[in-house]
Chains A and B, each alone.
Chain A
């Protein structure tokens, strides 16, 4: 089947050319992080480091409290992810297995929340959450997560997964005296782990990457999230791109790990999204 041909070579060449603009910013983000001022702060800038300048990594921690930003983002994204998984599992079970009055209408209202852009309702949310005093001190954590504790996307995706179970399973479990609660946590949830992981990966990435809400909400820099911290680092250290890129590279590690190791769950979530 495979034979050498001019067409095949052309495909490699074109793909190689297309890969340059796609891969260069990634390459530069990481390699620039270990480039010294001699390579970066000159014109024209070097594309390959003449020497590895690891000092950027330690300097960036001196310029901004990157470790603290990491903790803040981990708390914010971690709480949002756990909470959305739990609330989505509960709601999905109700939609998939229980007889409820007005179920279709309620499900429609859940889906309707997907059509409301967060940016269109951010002002009243900001007024409410900051008005409740959740924009200062340790309460900032609460303000960061409170609007994002439930997810129509997660509910929808898990409901789809739960509907795959035969209805006999539910009836058998109920007749055997295994109540809904035990059926949910002992049978349904363990068997739905891949779908739950897909929801978890998605929710974590979008929470970790949030920008608008933390930007306007957080007033104490101690509670700044990583994304805002990196953007402030960029504003503060324009003259030292190596330092800025070191911050970028360090902040990318968790999402890079999630994308590389969670790739099959991401694709799973994508196809669920495509069916939506």
Chain B
């Protein structure tokens, strides 16, 4: 009767056992995740197999109908656009940042200032950066055409020409991610042990050889992390497309996330059923990326 469980400590309110206290501390997070992550996850699956009325309320069970809709050419184009957008916003931003970080390794004056300068885009939100680019891309009075004009090149309709709009949005995205990539890779370089670099230098390695044989291989964890994180980030991109092109012209910049937005929310559309089916596709693609991340990381750890 008087035997207290050994886990009850003096000083904690006596009514809590250790595990009771633990669950109490976890409770706020658990409630938030249950209500706003796990329940909506199930709900997305539910909505994706139900029709909906004009106001978006789910109606009858329609099975795989929304998924069958996706076999249309329209959704194929959305997936292709998503792939191109991801490829051309991730690869240049990672390679460009690697190039700059390697050059910053050359022992020159002013490296700290330069490094901070290259990291500055990190301070911009997607919305502010996109608005700056919208001004730069303005066909009539924007700087982009101004520069072309002074070189004697004709004006380009950066955001309204179907073949230019996607590269233009990718370029803006590369700029947005550049600062973050520089920060990550600089931190990676700083973590390389100076002895290794010094030993290589004493052996006569410098410049390109030092970079390709020592620095880049030692940066491979950060490079891999950046590719995965940037890919996940690119797949979720929304603000720049909403601000710069609204998915146009002629769907040229409608990525998966933008397509979800259009079906569910744009122009008073409330097609939550099809939008949810596309959301499930997004979820599967993202889980695939995460699986790749863990798969490769696992191998790397084993390799060591």
A interface residues (Cβ-Cβ under 8 A, vs B) = 1-2, 7-8, 11-12, 14-15, 18-19, 21-23, 25-26, 28-29, 32, 40-45, 47, 86-88, 90-91, 93-95, 98-101, 103, 106, 109-110, 113, 115-128, 146-152, 155, 174, 177-182, 208-209, 211-212, 215-216, 227-228, 230-231, 233-234, 238, 241, 244-245, 247-248, 251-252, 255-256, 258-260, 263, 266-267, 270-271, 273-274
Q: Are the CB atoms of B9 and A179 closer together than 8 Å?
A: yes
Q: A125-B40, A274-B188 are in contact. Are A212 and B29 (CB under 8 A)?
A: no
> Which residues of chain A are near B136, meaning CB under 8 Å?
25, 28
- Tell me, in angstroms, the Cα distance from A26 to B260 when the chains sit together: 31
> Which chain B residue lies CB-closest to A257?
B123
* Most chain A beta-carbon neighbours within 10 Å: one of B125, B265, B286: B125
> Which chain A residue lies CB-closest to B238?
A212
Q: A101-B19, A125-B36, A127-B272 are in contact. Are A43 and B187 (CB under 8 A)?
A: no
Q: How far is the CB of A124 from chain B (nearest CB, A)?
A: 4
Q: Are the CB atoms of B40 and A241 closer together than 8 Å?
A: no
> Which chain B residue lies CB-closest to A21?
B175
- Tell me, in angstroms, the Cα distance from A2 to B32 when the chains sit together: 56
Q: Are the CB atoms of B124 and A23 closer together than 8 Å?
A: no
- Is B81 located at the chain interface by the 8 A CB criterion? no
> Which residues of chain A are near B212, meaning CB under 8 Å?
none
Interface hit among B65-73, B142-150, B162-170: B142-150
Q: Are the CB atoms of B132 and A25 closer together than 8 Å?
A: yes
Q: Are the CB atoms of B124 and A252 closer together than 8 Å?
A: yes
B interface residues (Cβ-Cβ under 8 A, vs A) = 7, 9-13, 18-19, 21-23, 25-26, 28-33, 35-41, 43-44, 47, 56, 96, 99-100, 103-104, 106-108, 114, 116-136, 138, 140-143, 145-147, 149-150, 175, 178-179, 183-184, 186-188, 191, 207, 221-222, 225, 229, 232, 235-236, 238-239, 242-243, 257, 260-261, 264-265, 272, 275-276, 279-280, 282-283, 286-287, 290
- Tell me, in angstroms, the Cα distance from A177 to B8 when the chains sit together: 12
Q: How far is the CB of A48 from chain B (nearest CB, A)?
A: 12
Q: How far is the CB of A189 from chain B (nearest CB, A)?
A: 13
- Tell me, in angstroms, the Cα distance from A119 to B237 when the chains sit together: 9
> Which residues of chain A are near B40, meaning CB under 8 Å?
121, 123-125, 128
Total CB contacts across the A-B interface at under 8 A: 295
Q: Are the CB atoms of B127 and A123 closer together than 8 Å?
A: no
Q: Are the CB atoms of A90 and B26 closer together than 8 Å?
A: yes
From the candidates B21, B23, B123, name the one contacting A255 in the complex (CB within 8 A): B123
Q: How far is the CB of A146 from chain B (nearest CB, A)?
A: 7
Q: With contacts A23-B117, A122-B260, A274-B184 known, what are 13 further pairs, Cβ within 8 A? A: A25-B136, A26-B124, A45-B141, A116-B37, A120-B283, A147-B36, A150-B32, A152-B33, A179-B11, A208-B125, A234-B134, A238-B138, A259-B120
- Tell me, in angstroms, the Cα distance from A94 to B184 when the chains sit together: 30
> Which residues of chain B are near A121, meaning CB under 8 Å?
36-37, 40-41, 43-44, 279
Q: Are the CB atoms of B127 and A256 closer together than 8 Å?
A: no
> Which chain B residue lies CB-closest to A239?
B141
Q: Are the CB atoms of A228 and B127 closer together than 8 Å?
A: yes
Q: Are the CB atoms of B120 and A26 closer together than 8 Å?
A: yes
Q: A28-B132, A98-B19 are in contact. Are A211 and B29 (CB under 8 A)?
A: no
> Which residues of chain A are near B128, meaning CB under 8 Å?
29, 227, 230, 248, 251-252
Q: Are the CB atoms of B187 and A45 closer together than 8 Å?
A: no
> Which chain A residue lies CB-closest to B37?
A113
Q: A45-B143, A123-B279 are in contact. Are A116 and B7 (CB under 8 A)?
A: no
- Tell me, in angstroms, the Cα distance from A146 to B31 when the chains sit together: 11
Q: How far is the CB of A19 from chain B (nearest CB, A)?
A: 6
Q: A42-B141, A174-B11, A211-B239 are in contact. Are A88 and B29 (CB under 8 A)?
A: yes
> Which residues of chain A are near B124, meaning CB under 8 Å?
25-26, 29, 252, 255
> Which chain B residue lies CB-closest to A7?
B207
- Tell me, in angstroms, the Cα distance from A202 to B163 when the chains sit together: 36
Closest 10 CB pairs of A and B: A179-B11, A44-B146, A124-B43, A209-B125, A150-B32, A124-B40, A147-B36, A150-B29, A98-B22, A121-B40
Q: A25-B136, A99-B18 are in contact. Are A120 and B25 (CB under 8 A)?
A: no
